[in-house]
């Protein structure tokens, strides 16, 4: 390992976990990632390997069969996985968010039922908030849940969008409008936990629920991204997350907050891999009688890339540690997500430039990274959303007395 993106203060257990994951990435992910990505093929063997390592239960408490690790440990694991192939980190991310939401907000019955199966990877989670016309304005949600049978069931109707793991998941946390919380739109949203069969098309276990085929994407392939269509889907009231309607927005925002740390970690991993590829290629390629790494212009570029990799990593670590310490971290998570995703795009592009014409060839790994990086600019909120969150929090912190 080089000296970039090191994390001080880790325990021996954390270091052992990261070493194991790094070895798994180097041996099981990097050698096959580009081939699977070009085929848009789901990485079944890699997922089975992650199950065996216990990664699906990394942050789930030990009492439910998980490893009980921190958000920081999880973020550092995601960074390593994204360094190998960002799509694989997406497979565990939505699962992690749903498990976090259940552990933080679920009833005891929901925890006892879902978390042990999620820790083992038997149940895999997906997170469903966005809609075709929604964008970043969550208050405009239109998917609706209406009470039925005296309140014992809810009937769900609507269309959700951009579900990572929408087809392969067997549990989806779905945000719906319930109109039970009063005048504020943010108190009229409820999260439902919907178990379903894996696969596409009409769901055999949930009448009225349909997962159309995969959305074709520029990058971020292998992992399935889908829509979710709900037509008179009946869900028992005891599958409301936490058992009480009207808390869905706040539960989802808690999930998004930890998700932003995850996206920052992904940006750090992809950027680090791009730097590795760039500095390696610069020492192999010769122009004008010497290796291009000896040209001052390339050295400047490598220096800028390395600085961005390091800065993004340290910001991500700070955001994770804030959350682990029980502190509010929306400011740090927004900063980390914004910085890491923007720097990732820039580092990948610089590595692409270092490769010259070969970077445009599908034979070189940097071509894949060049298509993957843009997803991080929009996932878990665009740069503009992050800046809005950060700006508002700064005004809270630095408000002058009137």
Question: Catalytic site residues?
Answer: 380
| Distance in angstroms (rounded) separating the CA atoms of residues 175 and 386 | 21
Contact 120, 307 (CB under 8 A): no
Q: In which element (H, E) is residue 381 found?
A: none
Q: How far apart are CA 36 and CA 33, in angstroms?
A: 5
In three-state secondary structure terms, 70 is coil
Cα 69 to Cα 71: distance, rounded to the nearest angstrom: 7
Cα 30 off chain centre by: 19
φ/ψ of 231, rounded to 5, equals -125, 100
Copy the structure tokens of residue 33: 């990632």
**Which residues are CB-neighbours of 119 under 8 A, at least 6 positions away?**
54, 56, 57, 60, 64, 65, 66, 99
Please count the CA atoms within 13 angstroms of the CA of 9 that sit on its side-chain side: 6
Token readout for 148 is 């039925």
Beta bridge partners of 230: 158, 209
Contact 310, 5 (CB under 8 A): yes
Provide long-range contacts, Cβ within 8 A and 24+ apart, for 353-357: 353/301, 354/278, 354/281, 354/282, 354/292, 354/298, 354/301, 355/277, 355/278, 355/281, 356/285
Taken in order 154, 157, 161, 166, is the CA torsion positive or negative? positive
Closest of 77, 83, 87 to residue 36, by C-alpha: 87
DSSP annotation of 189: E
| Token pair in block for residue 21 | 């994951």
């Amino acid at each position: 390992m080089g000296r970039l993106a090191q994390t001080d203060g880790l325990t021996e257990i954390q270091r052992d976990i990261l070493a194991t994951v790094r070895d798994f990435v180097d041996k099981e992910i990097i050698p096959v990632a580009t081939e699977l990505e070009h085929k848009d093929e789901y990485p079944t063997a890699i997922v089975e390997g992650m199950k065996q390592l216990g990664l699906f239960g990394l942050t789930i408490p030990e009492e439910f069969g998980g490893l009980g690790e921190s958000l920081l440990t999880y973020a550092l694991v995601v960074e390593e996985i994204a360094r190998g192939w960002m799509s694989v980190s997406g497979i565990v991310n939505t699962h992690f968010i749903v498990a976090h939401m259940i552990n933080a907000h679920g009833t005891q019955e929901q925890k006892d039922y879902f978390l042990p199966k999620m820790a083992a990877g038997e149940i895999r989670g997906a997170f469903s908030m966005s809609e075709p016309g929604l964008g970043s304005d969550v208050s405009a949600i239109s998917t609706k849940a209406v009470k039925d049978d005296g309140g014992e069931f809810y009937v769900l109707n609507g269309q959700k969008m951009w579900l990572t793991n929408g087809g392969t998941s067997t549990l989806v946390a779905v945000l719906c409008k319930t109109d039970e919380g009063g005048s504020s739109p943010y108190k009229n949203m409820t999260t439902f936990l919907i178990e379903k069969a894996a696969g596409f098309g009409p769901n055999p276990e949930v009448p009225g629920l349909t997962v159309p085929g995969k959305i074709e994407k520029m990058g971020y392939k292998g992992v399935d991204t889908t829509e979710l269509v709900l037509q008179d889907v009946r869900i028992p009231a005891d599958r409301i997350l936490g058992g009480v309607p009207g808390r869905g927005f706040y539960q989802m925002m808690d999930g998004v907050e930890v998700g932003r740390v995850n996206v920052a970690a992904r940006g750090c991993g992809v950027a680090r891999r791009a730097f590795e590829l760039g500095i390696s290629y610069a020492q192999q390629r010769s122009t004008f009688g010497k290796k291009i790494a000896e040209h001052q212009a390339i050295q400047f570029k490598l220096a800028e890339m390395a600085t961005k990799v390091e800065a993004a990593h340290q910001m991500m670590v700070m955001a994770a540690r804030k959350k682990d310490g029980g502190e509010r971290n929306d400011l740090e998570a927004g900063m980390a997500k914004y910085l890491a995703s923007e720097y990732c795009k820039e580092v990948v592009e610089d590595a692409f430039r270092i490769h010259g014409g070969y970077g445009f060839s599908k034979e070189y790994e940097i071509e894949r990274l060049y298509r993957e990086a843009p997803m991080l600019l929009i996932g878990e909120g665009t740069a503009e959303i992050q800046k809005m969150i950060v700006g508002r929090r700064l005004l809270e912190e630095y408000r002058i007395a009137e």
